[in-house]
Amino acid sequence: MSQPILMTVDDDPAVSRSVARDLRRRYGKDYRVIRADSGADALDALREIKLRGDAVAAILADYRMPHMDGISFLEKAMDLFPNARRALLTAYADTDAAIQAINVVDVDHYLLKPWDPPEEKLYPVIDSLVETWLAVGDKSVEETKLVGHRYSAPSFKVRDFLARNAVPYRWYSVDEDEGGRILQAAGAVETDIPVVVTPDGTVLKQPTGGEIAVAVGLSTRPAQEFYDLVVIGGGPAGLGAAVYGASEGLRTVLVERKATGGQAGTSSRIENYLGFPDGVSGAQLTDRARRQAQKFGAEVLTARDVVGLEVRGSSRVVTFGDGSEIAAHAVILASGVTYRAHEADGIRELTGSGVYYGSAATEAPECKGQHVYIVGGANSAGQAAVFFAQHASEVSLLVRGDSLEKSMSHYLIEQIAAIDNITVRTGTTVVQAHGADHLEAVTLCHSDTTETVETGHLFIFIGAAPRTDWLGEVIQRDHHGFVQTGPDLVTEGRKPAGWPLDRDPYHLESSVPGVFVAGDVRSQSVKRVASAVGEGAMAVTLVHRYLEEQ
């Protein structure tokens, strides 16, 4: 195969020649640089490249081009080369418009013109694009097949697991002819669904997350019995701890119950995270963080449920649901939180069948032309509203309070106000969900007045609770279940009960020496992605300090 391609598209010949020259200067040895003067010409070139079987690593497109702007071009280019990385070239005056437009297309970066010196303003961006493309590749992807019911909580659970763990899969409804053929070929019947068929032909009937993880090649078993550091939880705090722990030479293993990314991993776009002025999806941020941790040597275990923590001398022992154990010098609890259950009648019975907690991005195509209801008034609910507004005909954001200002970031409130098919309904709660095998309607209450509206999609974001019951009496928690650390453990100069050391607990240290806490699961934490990542890094620093004492 010939060299992979870097493509630049700009209607200004001088700019086009300039960017092509700079790209050839740095990447000409390993990549073929081609340029086009319009989106139409670039699409013709991409079709020829596709026919030849060549690979496209990255595409740089000017934002302002006649007939077809950069956003429209990149949308069409994605159909031909979905794995090619994408950047938008824009003048400073168009920055705001470009950032808003980027929400429409999954663009990796935007570049301001001019980019002199390229060593500082161009090459680092291209290096990032190329590195990501090399990690993903442009090879044909072998897909896992999933057969299930359209409205089925078990089927949704498997779809969500595969999507959250970035496993390529194709969904087949059992009600469609192809789904029936796959079931027959797999030697399965309708009562076996959901049925998963891996690319090598392995058939899984009503599989657990652990069984799927093993079958599709996710790591589930630790390579060692003893580590320097065990990180429990794969959200931003846990991934941050894994990156910093492994990069600083600690034998590090991260254990995640479902999928890395946590609640942040389901976010359609995070726009207030430092260093991403055009925003980044939770899935993108998670994928980069996971690869970064593994690059430094951290192990990442998926679909492993931690059910116990025990102190054995200087070791901290973590017990899994199957009874197996791993031990370490230190542990970082970064298990995050889970969405609080909605108590309205019918919600529990219809969860996974039209009622979903979190964004449930796998459901987005099914929302086309539908009226979607979202419950919640914080950032996660707002991000979901913006995301589903791109698919649904109408989105209603149901907010219990009298406004969004107290709970949602200002930038997100402005975005929602500017989207025509989003309606914010304050002072409104869901009191009942209706439906037999799937959601058909919800009853809303506003100022003591109720109404029942038809809908097949209800997404819930009503706050979160920590999943810490498994800690038992080993670790001190507050009355909400969040883990207390540092100064919160010291009362009137007295250390926590059973504390064996002369010193007070470190800032992020729990009531057990050597067990640290980071992110949302920590009592009094700031519920933001940036603070969670920072606490993960800070916890590693305190782990080093603790290890020096041993």
Structural domains of the chain ordered from first start: 5-136 (3.40.50.2300), 144-215 (3.40.30.10), 226-338+465-549 (3.50.50.60), 347-462 (3.50.50.60)
What DSSP string describes 150-192? SS-HHHHHHHHHHHHTT--EEEEETTSHHHHHHHHHTT--GGG
Q: How far apart are the C-alpha atoms of 398 and 373, rounded to whole Å?
A: 7
Residues 6 or more apart whose Cβ sits within 8 Å of residue 360: 156, 160, 266, 459
What DSSP string describes 64-84? --SSS-HHHHHHHHHHH-TTS
**pTM (two decimals):** 0.75
Query: Looking at residue 222, what is its pLDDT?
Result: 96
Query: Looking at residue 103, what is its pLDDT?
Result: 59
Binned at pLDDT 50, 70 and 90, residue 288 comes out as confident
Binned at pLDDT 50, 70 and 90, residue 266 comes out as confident
- At residue 117, does pLDDT exceed 90? no
Query: Looking at residue 523, what is its pLDDT?
Result: 95
Average pLDDT on 359-372 reads: 86
Query: Looking at residue 512, what is its pLDDT?
Result: 97
- At residue 260, does pLDDT exceed 80? yes
What does the pLDDT look like over 331-342, one tens digit per residue? 999 999 988 899
What does the pLDDT look like over 425-438, one tens digit per residue? 999 999 999 999 89
Give the C-alpha distances (Å, rounded to integers) separating 1 from 4, 5, 23, 216: 8, 11, 21, 28
Q: How far apart are the C-alpha atoms of 81 and 94, rounded to whole Å?
A: 26
- At residue 311, does pLDDT exceed 80? yes
Q: Please say whether the beta carbons of 421 and 369 come within 8 A.
A: no
Amino acid at 22: D
- At residue 279, does pLDDT exceed 80? no
Query: Looking at residue 135, what is its pLDDT?
Result: 79
Query: Which of 136-145, 234-243, 456-465: highest mean pLDDT?
Result: 234-243
Binned at pLDDT 50, 70 and 90, residue 188 comes out as very high
Structure tokens at 151: 């409205």
